[in-house]
Amino acid sequence: MNNFKALGLNDEILQAVADMGFENPSAVQEKAIPVLLNEQADVVALAQTGTGKTAAFGFPLIQKLDSRSKHTQGLILSPTRELCLQITNELKQYSKYVKGLNTVAVYGGANIRDQARAIEKGAQIIVATPGRMMDMMRRNMVDITKIDYCILDEADEMLNMGFYEDITTILADTPKEKLTWLFSATMPKEVSAIAKKFMKSPIEITVGTKNMGATNVSHEYFVVNSRDRYQALKRLADANPDIFSVVFCRTKRDTQKVAELLIEDGYNAAALHGDLSQNQRDLVMKSFRTRQIQMLVATDVAARGIDVDDITHVINYQLPDEIETYTHRSGRTGRAGKTGVSMVIIVKSEMRKIKQIEKIINKQFTKKEIPTGIEICEVQLMHLANQIHDTKINHEIDPYLYGINEVLEGLSREELIKKVFSVEFTRFFNYYKKAKDLNISVKAEAMEASGDSTRYFINIGRRDGFDWMSLKDFLKEATGLGDDVYHVDCKDNFSFFNTDTDKSEMVLALFENFELSGRQVHVEITKDRGRKGGGGGGGRKKKNFGGGGGGFKGRSRGGDRDGGNKGSYGGKKRKSNDGNIPFKGKKRRRK
């Protein structure tokens, strides 16, 4: 018997399943479909990226809706435009034999009236991004007061992107009796919180280990000085000549900058971020799919919808702000049963985060060395030899063979080979022969030391209009420390947060005289909950990393690259009501 049939799916859907060529249900489908079909209950389903979650909720949703009635019965919230379109397309395929069933996508960046008209014609299912959904609700263009099912897809990512408030507002407009199905790749505490708040004793379905990354992805990290980040990236690319990768940066600015440098240095690279027009983004994605682009440099948000198989490497040029996002990044590779590598370029002080990520993904990272110039030259030479060996002979050359032979007369086979290789290789070799070792040694004690963390008490909290996300944003911005502010814990009247211990002097000094909306802000170190307190402000030795040959094109600009990253959080907007907290006396310092 057809395995999908055994799950209880009807003929219309089974026919569509056959058309799509799905042979067997995936694990999450096998577990979730019977529950969603048969239980009148809220459900939380956790399964890693690429495991077929869309069909896991899509099949039961389609089967349970009444396609003869035109009113909106199912609402799916999804974090990005790309995912919204992807889900809509999938649902349309699943329901192609269900007469009268209409699925409409609602997302920003497209004409809102067109979308409203499509809904007016009758949309039993709406797939929406939270922002646009709110817009349409305000303008009375949608009616979700009679829905039976609400699906929060990629819930972790929606929360990462700061959609908590929007989701709350949207759900407030839906009937109490509806069922809520939450799908997520990871279960950070924010997702448990949302499940607690909006769902009634949900049935939990977990596939694989909770929060686990894709199993066929190996995880590697490389420790370099921050000024060498870009060169390290280049070497990783050069050591993998057939690389087909997504390179993740934290900000749009860095994304653009890294892509530009790569292009300048002769790589097939392009940037993908939210400042590009939709048209530009579509073009970039098309070139990436057709492999004209080998290295796609992207922000997390822009990359979220990327559904390209065969990606060989995910490179974390910088770690994400929220370490939970790492799972989404590494999930871009190792899809469809292929193996993949997720590489992370870090500086010493980020060792702590590798440990945290290991806990989340429940897998170990391997510490690897950035290849030396000589190693890269070897890889490239052998790659060239293989390329020559595998090249199909172009017989258009035949008529010119006589002339060519005459020119090359007198060269032995060996000389000929050497010369052919030199044509391709000398430039490369010259570039790398003086290249220095980019690795920095990380001793066990250094790892411990860099793990030294200080916990602070701060006298602001929910009462001041913050939640954990907006407070974290505020602290990142106020201290200029970006994601070196962590473990933010927002209480009613006060809050806690951590930074590395070597930042504590700076943090305390910063808040010595700091006003927020006319109120004095106090920050002090708390002893009890700090991890290993440690002597504050043991200033790191400054080394002079200056100069040193090498002839890298990107080098002179590489020096200040990391400096540029810091403080770039000012431009990062979160969709939250607290986005414009008026803080006076704002001081900004860089480390």
Closer Cβ to Mg ion, 155 or 315, answer by number: 155
What minimum distance in Å lies between the beta carbon of 20 and ligand ADP? 7
Asked if 53 touches Mg ion (CB under 5 A), the answer is yes
Tokens of 130: 């939270």
> In this structure, how many other beta carbons lie within 10 angstroms of the beta carbon of residue 198?
18
What minimum distance in Å lies between the beta carbon of 273 and Mg ion? 21
Hey, which residues does 313 pair with through a beta bridge? 245, 341
Where does this chain touch ligand ADP (CB under 6 A) — which range of 43-51, 216-224, 468-476, 539-547? 43-51
Closer Cβ to Mg ion, 53 or 273, answer by number: 53
Strand order in 313-316's β-sheet? Answer: 269-272, 295-298, 245-248, 313-316, 340-346, 217-223, 366-367
The item of ligand ADP, Mg ion, none sharing an interface with residue 328, based on CB under 5 to 8 Å by kind, is none
Q: Choose, by CB under 6 A, the member of 33, 36, 43, 55 that binds ligand ADP.
A: 55
Q: What are phi and psi of 566, to 5 degrees?
A: -65, 145
Q: Choose, by CB under 6 A, the member of 54, 251, 316, 499 that binds ligand ADP.
A: 54
Closer Cβ to Mg ion, 53 or 472, answer by number: 53
Where does this chain touch ligand ADP (CB under 6 A) — which range of 49-57, 276-284, 390-398, 540-548? 49-57
Closer Cβ to Mg ion, 53 or 234, answer by number: 53
Asked if 155 touches ligand ADP (CB under 6 A), the answer is no
Q: What is the 3-state secondary structure (H, E, C) of 284-353?
A: HHHHHHCCCCCEEEECHHHHCCCCCCCCCEEEECCCCCCCCHHHHHHCCCCCCCCCEEEEEEECHHHHHH
What minimum distance in Å lies between the beta carbon of 335 and ligand ADP? 8
Where does this chain touch ligand ADP (CB under 6 A) — which range of 46-54, 97-105, 191-199, 291-299? 46-54
DSSP-derived secondary structure for 106-155: E-TTS-HHHHHHHHHT--SEEEE-HHHHHHHHHTT----TT-SEEEETTH
Closer Cβ to Mg ion, 79 or 202, answer by number: 79
Among positions 23-42, residues that touch ligand ADP (CB under 6 A) are 25-26, 29
What minimum distance in Å lies between the beta carbon of 216 and Mg ion? 18
Closer Cβ to Mg ion, 54 or 72, answer by number: 54
Closer Cβ to ligand ADP, 173 or 307, answer by number: 307
Task: Provide the 3-class DSSP secondary structure of residue 571.
Answer: helix
Hey, which residues does 540 pair with through a beta bridge? none
Closer Cβ to Mg ion, 260 or 307, answer by number: 307
Asked if 49 touches ligand ADP (CB under 6 A), the answer is yes
Asked if 304 touches Mg ion (CB under 5 A), the answer is no
The item of Mg ion, ligand ADP, none sharing an interface with residue 501, based on CB under 5 to 8 Å by kind, is none
String marking each residue 6-45 x if it binds Mg ion according to CB under 5 A: ----------------------------------------
Where does this chain touch ligand ADP (CB under 6 A) — which range of 48-56, 187-195, 317-325, 493-501? 48-56
Closest CA to 195 of 213, 183, 211, 178: 183
Asked if 51 touches ligand ADP (CB under 6 A), the answer is yes
Q: What are phi and psi of 144, to 5 degrees?
A: -110, 20
Where does this chain touch ligand ADP (CB under 6 A) — which range of 45-53, 59-67, 136-144, 410-418? 45-53
Among positions 396-415, residues that touch ligand ADP (CB under 6 A) are none
* Rounded Cα distance, 301 and 54, in Å: 19
Among positions 487-506, residues that touch ligand ADP (CB under 6 A) are none
The type of residue at 335 is R
Where does this chain touch ligand ADP (CB under 6 A) — which range of 33-41, 50-58, 129-137, 416-424? 50-58
Measured CA angle at 529 (ends 473, 589), to 5 deg:
35
Among positions 284-343, residues that touch ligand ADP (CB under 6 A) are none
What minimum distance in Å lies between the beta carbon of 8 and ligand ADP? 15
Where does this chain touch Mg ion (CB under 5 A) — which range of 52-60, 302-310, 335-343, 428-436? 52-60
Task: Provide the 3-class DSSP secondary structure of residue 432.
Answer: helix
Tokens of 224: 């370099």
Asked if 79 touches ligand ADP (CB under 6 A), the answer is no
What minimum distance in Å lies between the beta carbon of 47 and Mg ion? 9
Where does this chain touch ligand ADP (CB under 6 A) — which range of 22-30, 213-221, 429-437, 519-527? 22-30
Q: Choose, by CB under 6 A, the member of 16, 30, 43, 52 that binds ligand ADP.
A: 52
Tokens of 34: 């019977």
What minimum distance in Å lies between the beta carbon of 467 and ligand ADP? 27
Q: What are phi and psi of 315, to 5 degrees?
A: -115, 120
Q: What are phi and psi of 391, to 5 degrees?
A: -70, 130
Residue written as token pair 């008490």:
457
> In this structure, how many other beta carbons lie within 10 angstroms of the beta carbon of residue 141?
18
Could you give the C-alpha distances from 481 to 387, 468, 475, 499, 511, in angstroms and in order?
47, 17, 8, 9, 14
The item of Mg ion, ligand ADP, none sharing an interface with residue 25, based on CB under 5 to 8 Å by kind, is ligand ADP
Asked if 50 touches ligand ADP (CB under 6 A), the answer is yes
* Rounded Cα distance, 130 and 404, in Å: 65
Closest CA to 346 of 324, 322, 316: 316
Q: Residues touching Mg ion: how many (CB under 5 A)?
A: 1
Closer Cβ to Mg ion, 32 or 458, answer by number: 32
* Rounded Cα distance, 514 and 522, in Å: 8
Task: Provide the 3-class DSSP secondary structure of residue 97.
Answer: coil
CB-neighbour burial class of residue 560 (10 A; exposed 0-12, middle 13-18, buried 19+): exposed
Closest CA to 457 of 503, 522, 513: 522
* Rounded Cα distance, 427 and 408, in Å: 22
Closer Cβ to Mg ion, 205 or 232, answer by number: 205
Where does this chain touch ligand ADP (CB under 6 A) — which range of 20-28, 104-112, 121-129, 318-326? 20-28
What minimum distance in Å lies between the beta carbon of 182 and Mg ion? 12
Residues in contact with Mg ion by CB under 5 A are: 53
Contacting positions for ligand ADP (CB under 6 A): 22, 25-26, 29, 47, 49-55
